[in-house]
Each structure stands twice: as C-alpha cells, then as structure tokens.
Chain A
Amino acid sequence: MKVTSNWLKEFVDFDLSPEQLADLLTMLGLEMEGMELQGAGMDDVVVALVEEKRQHPNADKLSLCRINNGSEVLDVVCGAQNFKVGDTVVLAQIGAVLPGDFRIKRSKIRGEESCGMLCSEKELGLADESAGIMVLPGGFKLGTPVFEALGLKDIFLEIGLTPNRADCLSVLGVAREIAAKLGVRIKTTYKPVIEGTTAVEDVIGVTVKDADLCPRYAARHITGSRIAPSPAWLVKRLNAVGVRSVNNVVDVTNLVMMELGQPLHAFDCDHLAEQRIVVRRSTEGELFTTLDGQQRTLVAGDLVICDGEQPVALAGIMGGLNSEISDATSSILLESAWFKPSAIRTTSKRLGLHTESSHRFERGTDIDGVTRALDRAASLIVELAGGTVSRGILDIYPVKTEPASIVLRPERANALIGIDLPRAEIVDILRRLEFVVTESDDGSLEVFAPSYRIDIEREIDLVEEIARLNGFDRIPTTMPTAMVVSDRPSAHQRLERVVRDVLVAHGMNEVINFSFTTPDAADKLMLSVDDPRRSVIRLVNPLIDEQSVMRTSLLPGLLETVSRNVCFRSLDLKLFEMRRVYMPIKDAEMPREPIFVTGVLTGQRDREDWSHARAAIDFFDAKGIVENLLELLNIPAVRWVSDTPEQYYHPGKSCSIMAGKERIGSIGEIHPTVQESFGLEKPVYCFELDFEKLVVQSRQKRTISAPSRFPDSTRDIALLVSDGVSAESIVSSVRGVKAQEIEQVEIFDLYCGAGIPEGHKSIAVRIRYRSYDRTLTDEEIAGLHAKVVDNLVNKVKVSIR
C-alpha cells in the first residue's frame, strides 16, 4: 500500500520528519517497508532566469547562456533549444546531485566555461521522457529550490499492511491512524456535488437481484463529459501510488479508490442495454470478456453486473470490454457498491484475477462510505471532463448495517495489557479512533466501531486498539509471577542430546536433509517388494518429483550427501543424521514418526598427518562408534548377529545389532550395487539405530564397583582356529570359565597369511587375572589359565600355537 505525505496532509495536519512519520506508522502496526524522499538533497537545483542566450562559437547545437540565480549571473552551456531570453528555467548549480547520482561540476564544454546545467523534467526524475529543458511559468522567486517552489517535495511511503487492516487501504485510512495517534481531527474538504435538473431515475435504473452478495449498490449518472488525457497532477499522483494513467474518467475512479478505499467503476452508459444495471449471480458457463481482453468462463454463483441483456462487469473485480469508457463516451454511469468479501474472493481466486478493486472488496470496504466516494468522483469528473451530474443517487441499500455493540471492561483491558490506564484515557483513545463510547453504570463501556473498522467485533479487538494507540513502547516489561516448575526433560529429549554429543565426539558431522525424498529411493536401496519402508506417504502437491514422498529411511539422503561432498573433493566423511522418518500405519489416520540415528563413514580413518600412515575406514570404525554409543547409553546384552540384515548391505560384512531379543539396528558395508547407484567409488560403511528402541533399552541405573587394590597378572595365548570360528566365541569361552579373577579378555592380534594353514587364522588373546581381596599366587594363576586353555581347546576346537 503506497501513500504520499502530501496527500496525507490533505486529510490530517502533522509536522513530522520522514523518520518520525515512518516510526509513528510502524508503531501503529502499519509497517514501513520503503520510503522515498522526492526532492530531498535537491536544494541546489533552483529557479533561475535566462538573461542572455547566444550561439556557442565552437558548436552548432549548443548555446551560451547567462543565467540569473537570484544572487549572481552565471555562464551556462546548454544543448536544448526550447527556451528564450526571459524564460524561467531550472538550474542545477555546481554541487547538485541529480537522480542517478549525476553530480554537477564546473566544466568546459568545447572551450566554453559552464557553471551548472539547465534541467529537463527527465533529468529531475519528474518524467520518463521530456523534450527540451523545463520552462516554468513566471512568478517564482529566483534562487528558490525548484522542488520547494513547485510543491513537489514529498515523501513516498510504502506500507506493509496486515490482512486485518482493510480500512487502511486508502490515504484516508492511513490519515485516520495518524490523526488518532496525534489526537487531531480528520479534515473533510469535499464540496457538495453540483447536480443538474434531470433526475437520475429518469435516465438509468438499477435492480439488485442477489442482495445477499450485494447489500448496497449506488449509482450516479453524468452526461456530456469529454474523455481526454488526465492533467499532469493527476497522472503524477496516481504514479506515486503505483497506478497507471488511462484517461480522465478512469483516473478519477482510481484516484478516489486510492484516496477513500472505495473501488468505483465507470460504465459507458450508451453501451448499457436498456440503460440499466442488474446485479445477479452468473449462470454456469456464462461467457464474459473483461476489459483486459480475456474471455472468461463463469460458473454459477459468480456475482456479475449486467445491463438489460448481458454481463458488463465482474462485480468488484474488473469491468467488461463491452461497456468500457472510450474516447467516444459522453454518458457515464458511475458505480459505487459494497460486495460480500467472500464472493469476490472466490471468483477472483478461481479466475486468478487480482485487481486493486478485488483486493479491497475481498478484505472488506466501508459500507457507509459508498456514496461519499460516488460524490467525490462525480465532482472530480465534472471538474476534469465537464458534463452534468444527474440529480440524485440511485442507492439500493435495503437493509442498513447497524454497528454492533461491544462491551469493554477497562480493568480486563488493563490486566491483559499489563498497564493501568484510567477509564477516561481508555475512552479518549477509543474516541480518537472514532469509536462511539457510552459509559455504563457497572463500570464497563459500551462501544460501537465505525463502519470502516470491520475488524472490530469483540472485546479483545478493543483491547488491541488500546494497546496499539497507547503504544506498545509504553507497556512495561514485567516477569510473570505464575508458579510453574518446568518438567525435567523426558528421557527421550535427554538421550537425543546424548546421542548427538557422543557421535560428535567421535568426529561425526551432523547433517539435516529434507524430510521428503524421491519416490525411487526404495529401489535405489534394493528394498524387497514387501519391505514396509516401501509404503510411503505421498504429497499431493510437491514442488518437484524428487521431493514428493516422505522418507522412511535416512540412508538415501545420507548417501546423496556423501556423493555431493565427494564431488567437491571432500573424500573423508563421517556423517550422521538424527531425524524423524514417516511410517504409515495400516488403518490408522496418522502415521508414526519415529526418530532414527543413521551414520555413514567413508574415506580415510584419520586426517592427513606427517607422523603416521593413513588407513581406509572399515567396518570396525563404524562398529567402534556404535559400541561406545551403546555403552554410554547403558544398553545391556548387546549382540552383533551376522544375518544379512538388509538388502542394501554387503552380505558378508554386515549384521544386526541386538539388545537382548530386540533388534535395535544394523551395521554394515553398503552393497556395491547400491554404492554404484549413488555414484560412489569408495566403500561406505553405515549404521542405523532405531532411537525409539534405544530409549526403551537404555538403563538409567549404573552399578559402579571400586577398583581392586591388588596387582594384576597377564597371560597371552596364541590360537590357531579355522576361519568359521568367531572372535566372540573365543572371548565367551574364556568368560565361560566364570572365575571372578578373570578381569579382562582382549583380542590383541589377528593374523592370517604366511605360516598359517589355508582356511585358518591366528588369534592372540590376552587375559588379565586379578583378585579383589588378595595377590594371586603363580600357582593360582596357572591353575585358572590351564582351565581357560582347556576350555578353548575342547569346546571351541582351537589349537594352541
């Protein structure tokens, strides 16, 4: 919404700097989105007189002038020809800066000194095109800044309006806000319409068939007008608020709309069949050509303005080509009406036709302002285009809208805002806003809002007005006294942080991918046909197909992320994502949104380092992170079960992660085919954990034991075992001895190759013995160790090397 300061001043007196005006409006809720000062910094551009003009000796097309600026006479070279000695012109003096950052300097043009420049309207930013320099009428004081002399100093304001403030979609509306804030009155300057003798009802007729959509329709008739271009002031004024000039009559309707917020429409009355207007709903399939030349197909229920035969306007949106004002028009029917906002909104939206008019009608106009706008426009049309206004208004307004009574409790208002305004001040604020207020015996106020404030219906709406007008900046800053003890974060919330912290501590970077993904994500993961992750939630209106289904796995997004990073030569990656996936539940309306923790690792294990050789990341890097995580979450009975848990893993290098009997996740090397389909050259290792299950399995309680104060003793065993024997079976065999004195069992070496028979591997185990209550003797240790070895040899079928 655009307004100008000078236009506002026609309705309200104020003396504010541009900054103060911007701040005042912003703090009233009319946010200043842009401000342009016309004529600011242009004080060196002044009114001047041409005293002499002669041919430039060295250039045919230039002249040498002597220009009087009121205090001295200057030499100026000029290229224009449209002026003579004695003309009043516009001189940009040395130091002036014209639009486009054009600085005027002392210069020599073809050998002749020039102390300034005579300006055209274009150079001053007053017109898009101009022929020759600007020649002013006489009578101005020489040396006066020209913008001041011409009254062109102005502030163009662009206001961001919230949808509730339909009343501010006009200069008058914004002026009312300023007046209310400053506590001054709105000026009304309109003269009454001078009418002719012919009665309007003798010339035109109006029938409203669907009064539910059009509760008020008013029309005036003007005859004998001449259609012509608008005068410059009107064109400029419309341009300043972003409206293009058409002709004098159409421009008047637009000017009044901008000024009063009431959209108007002018019909060429000679093109209205039977010289009458019928307001009705359209019939299904009715065709109509709007004045932009587009043929529109209407549906039953669109509100149309018709003449005696056919539609001539889409009510409140756009007029018709068949009845538009043309150069030949002389008889005008001027329409001012109130249409039901939802009706206009529905039609405008369906047709994708949004106009200044529909914008106002669909937000709600002032039903009591209908005839004032009509009168203002009729007067202006006669003033600019001549003609005679027929006597009277046809005003079809069968059921007058009465303002509703709203009860306001001043103490409630004060309590809600947190202020303590006396009742009288509250009454004053409301009256400044032109509300009608009566004070009741019980202390409450009965309030009636003006007809243009359609947003005011309830007590809370009045509370807002009081807070707003009194000023948000005058509301104190307090702390609530309410006693609330915040709940401790749930286990879910706490563990979410623990998981992130642990993964970050292990060198992993958290990523956030979009929750929607591509429909072929499941195929890329080679999920089996009956995999539940294949049933996805689809968006009805995705932006693009790649973002059309809600993800059921974090893995595709992570693999894409790896691929994108590898493209940028970031080859060593440890990434994780901890977010929701979206699983539809059969026969349930709402899906489940469980959180998963998924990590991917690829590239080299450590960063490039001068002190040691680098090695590629493998399965056990991923596993180590998960082991630490599960230990920190205190999840008991963790087992790693190689059962080819997912189609997208290498079958020989993957496993399920179990906590007791619950499968809490999986880990493995990404299947080479999947790896290829994401365009990845190097192996990627992945772990996936169901966070909801981690929360369930995580034990809060930890038992801590005091360390033994007695010395330890370690024994190493080198075992030769066949490939099929797992490390876990060896460790559990040692553990199986169930002696308290076995403190720790570690696999510290794994070897296969030269010296080891085919199909076998050598595993070295270190066992640490220690007792809690004494120093173990060599004999005791030997005895225990013999048992351990015995167990291994007999139960796990290993041989000791």
Chain B
Amino acid sequence: MREQLEVLRHEALQAIASASSQDSLQDVRIRFLGRKGELTALMKGLGSLSVEERPVVGQLVNTIRDEIESVLESALSAAREQAKAERLQSEHIDVTLPGRRAQFGTKHPITQVIEEVSDIFAGLGFSVAEGPEIEHDWYNFEALNFPPEHPARDMQDTFFVDNSLLLRTHTSPVQIRTMLKKKPPLRIIAPGTVYRCDSDATHSPMFHQIEGLMVDKSVSFSDLKGILTIFTNQLFGQKTGVRLRPSFFPFTEPSAEVDIACVICGGKGCRVCKQSGWLEILGAGMVDPEVYRHVNYDADNISGFAFGMGIERIAMLKYGISDMRLLFENDVRFLRQF
C-alpha cells in the first residue's frame, strides 16, 4: 500500500507538472482527488489494513493529499495568472471611437442670462416680481411720468391692442404694480418680455429686459452705484470697470447710463465699443418723486433707485453674437452651442 501511495504521489505530481492549462489541471484534480479519484479509491482500501498500520497509512494518505492539493493549487494559480496575462495582452479597443452619449439639451441663451442675472440679484437680496405683457397705458407710461406727447407713446414705437391696452414697451410697469401692492422696504427685480415696433440687426420687435427696484428710508445714488458695481463685476468679471454718466429717463432723477469697460477690447477701443472703450449696458437712476406720487408713497420720507437692462444686449456681449435675429431664429445649430 505504501508503495502504491508513493507511485500515485509520483504520478500525480508528474501529471500536474505536465498539465498545460487550467482545464487539464482540473482534470488532474478529478483524476486523483475527486470522489471517484485514484487517491479516494486507495483510501477505501484502508479498511483492509491492520489496526496498527491503519493510522500510519492514513496519516500518509493525508500528507500525500495535502501535498498534491497544495502543488495543484499553486499550479492552478500560476495558470490563472498566465491566462490573465495572455488575455490582457491580446485584448484591446480603439479608444478613439466616440462614446455612447446621451443627448443633452440646452436652455435658450436668453433664459440662461435671465437665470444668471436673477441669481446674482437674489444674492443681493432682490426677489423676483412679474407683471402682464399686455399692459395698461397707465402702468406703462402715465404712472412712470411719460408726458402724453412723449414719442414713445406713438404708434410708431408701441404696439397697441386698443385705446388703453398695449404691449408693454419695458419692464418698468412692474415697478408700479409692485409699489401699489407693497409698502417699502422693497428690493425686486422683474425679468420679462417687452415689445417695440422695431426690426433690424440690432432691434427685435420682441425682446427682454430685467428691471430692478429698491425703495427704503434712505437709499442713495451711491448705493445704486454699489449694487450695480457688484452686479457687473459678478456678471462680467471682477475687474470690469464700471462708469455711470448722466442721462435722462422720465421716471428717474438723477438718471444715469451705466457703461462697462468694453469686454471685447478691454477698454482700448474697438469696433464693438465704437472706439470709446465703453459699452452701455444699463439705464438707472433714483426713482422720480412723481412716480412715488402715482403709487401713494411719501416722496419726502423714502428714496430708492431703479435700473433696467436689455437681456439680448448682455447675451450678445457675453457670447459675441453680432446679429440679434439669431436669438429668435431658433436654429438648433445655434441653440446647441449654449
């Protein structure tokens, strides 16, 4: 029996040594260690041995089994490593083929600018207010101190629906609606769609504005300057120069046009800024006392400022768009770039 075991051990180790793959190693395991394997068969012969010999031979069987198992295991492990190495060697893909991309969409650039501007002003404590686009003459003009003969009140400039209703020409009527509803203090912005009878490369009959209004006990022009400086710096970059220069609007006094240093040339002068180095982006001013009178505010005990900007203008500057009509043609080749 001992000799038989020794032969079997020898055969097994040889079989392992000559096995070339994981599969043939598995075959070796089955042949020697399997339930019907050779070693198992020998084990069954243990019963015929004497009581003295049985434990000794049993011990030997176990030793041989452990040895075969251990050699087999390391051979298997080596074979696995080799197979892995071969696989890694043989497999490769063309990584330059395009990936499987889920298609993403885009928000319209006008929406993006409105959201960006609204977010900046939210950070400055301004809430969003809204108003109708089909508006009363009173809110759009009268209450904003436009005299009856003002050219903006012409059919040449304003779309009319009937004698008293028109398509609002600016977002400023939202100021009036807000002040009639609420008492100071208030800080609002009002993004929205507005309309004027105008159509060419730089004018669209429909366009967008964002209005701002702040009224409280002692708001000053210097505060307006502060708010607008922060806003323009956040929108166009921390170092953007800002300039306020005197201007005129019926519903503010003092009034200002707000220029930023040209974002194209950095203020040196170029075609976009007409060599001036400045780009006009906002109209602003202190709310005119006449406007307070229309909304029953006491002009002597409060003060405030208002400002308004064209969204298209900002979008065109931010994205370098030269023709406003592109914004409303909705060509997906244009829209997908945003």
Contacts and interface: CB of A to CB of B under 8 A. Distances in A.
Contacts of B328: 512-514
Nearest to A28: B246
B189 to A, nearest CB: 10
Given A460-B289, A464-B253, A29 B245 contact: yes
Contacts of A487: 127
B128 interface: yes
B199 interface: yes
Contacts of A481: 218
Nearest to B220: A418
A564 interface: yes
Contact of B159 (A461, A493, A541): A541
Task: With a 10 A CB-CB cut-off, give which of B133, B134, B136, B206 has the most chain A CB atoms.
Answer: B134
Contact of A484 (B98, B125, B227, B254): B125
B134 A509 contact: no
Given A28-B246, A418-B221, A475-B221, A590 B331 contact: no
Nearest to A467: B254
A417 B197 contact: no
B89 to A, nearest CB: 25
Q: What class of interface size applies to chain A in its complex with B?
A: 35 or more
Interface stretch (B25-33, B50-58, B161-169): B161-169
B3 interface: no
Nearest to A539: B159
Interface stretch (A184-192, A522-530, A605-613): A605-613
A591 interface: yes
B171 interface: no
Contact of B111 (A484, A510, A607): A510
A647 interface: no
B209 to A, nearest CB: 14
Nearest to A510: B108
Given A163-B248, A460-B253, A476 B199 contact: no
A512 B199 contact: no
B247 interface: yes
Interface stretch (A496-504, A630-638, A782-790): A496-504
A408 B205 CA distance: 43
Interface stretch (A377-385, A570-578, A678-686, A770-778): A570-578
Nearest to B192: A580
A27 interface: yes
B187 A484 contact: yes
Interface on chain B toward A: helix, strand, loop, or mixed SS?
mixed
B223 interface: yes
Given A27-B246, A540-B162, A504 B225 contact: no
B330 A489 contact: no
A416 B206 CA distance: 35
Contacts of B132: 590-591, 593
Interface string B244-283: 1111100001111100000000000000000010000000
Contact of B100 (A489, A561, A609): A609
A541 B165 CA distance: 12
A394 B43 CA distance: 147
Contacts of B216: 480, 482, 484
B236 interface: no
Nearest to B276: A32
Interface string B53-84: 00000000000000000000000000000000
Interface string B191-210: 00101010100000110000
A580 B328 CA distance: 16
Per DSSP, are chain A's interface residues mostly helix, strand or loop, or mixed? loop
B199 A543 contact: yes
B245 A472 contact: yes
B149 A345 contact: yes
Interface in A23-54: 26-29, 31-32
Contact of A511 (B102, B257, B289, B335): B335
B222 A417 contact: yes
A162 B150 CA distance: 13
B35 interface: no
Contacts of B140: none
B85 interface: no
Contact of A461 (B128, B205, B245, B253): B253
A29 B283 CA distance: 13
B100 A478 contact: no
Contacts of B125: 484-486
B220 A593 contact: no
Nearest to B97: A610
Contacts of B243: 472-473
B105 interface: yes
B324 interface: no
B115 to A, nearest CB: 7
Given A461-B253, A505-B104, A477 B225 contact: yes
A769 B301 CA distance: 71
Nearest to A558: B330
B172 interface: no
Contacts of A233: none
A540 B247 CA distance: 32
A480 B223 contact: yes
A418 B105 contact: no
Contacts of A415: 218, 220, 303
Nearest to A346: B149
A31 B221 CA distance: 20
Contacts of B104: 504-505, 507
Interface in B107-159: 107-108, 110-111, 115, 122, 125-128, 132-134, 136, 149, 155, 159
A506 interface: yes
Most chain B CB neighbours (cut-off 10 Å) among A511, A538, A579? A511
A540 B160 contact: yes
A515 B207 CA distance: 10
Contact of B286 (A416, A468, A573): A416
Nearest to A557: B330
A503 to B, nearest CB: 6
B175 interface: no
Contacts of B128: 489-490, 493
A150 to B, nearest CB: 28
Contacts of A543: 197, 199, 205
B186 interface: yes
A463 interface: yes
B185 A483 contact: yes
A164 interface: yes
A473 B199 CA distance: 35
B225 A475 contact: yes
A607 B103 contact: yes
Nearest to B305: A480
Which residue, B134, B205, B330, has most C-beta atoms of chain A within 10 A?
Answer: B330
A582 B134 contact: yes
B330 to A, nearest CB: 4
Contact of B256 (A461, A472, A591): A472
B255 to A, nearest CB: 8
A417 B132 CA distance: 33
Interface in A599-632: 606-607, 609-611
Given A415-B218, A497-B115, A543-B205, A510 B226 contact: no
A27 B245 contact: yes
A775 B52 CA distance: 53
Contact of A464 (B110, B222, B254): B254
Contact of B134 (A31, A461, A482, A590): A590
Contacts of A27: 245-246
A579 B193 CA distance: 10
Nearest to A538: B161
Interface string A314-343: 000000000000000000000000000010
Top 9 closest A-B pairs, CB basis?
A418-B222, A29-B246, A418-B220, A162-B248, A482-B216, A507-B103, A464-B254, A511-B330, A504-B105
12 contacts: A32-B276, A416-B221, A416-B286, A464-B246, A479-B226, A479-B227, A480-B214, A482-B217, A511-B108, A541-B160, A591-B134, A607-B103
Given A516-B205, A542-B159, 4 more contacts: A419-B222, A510-B108, A537-B134, A565-B330
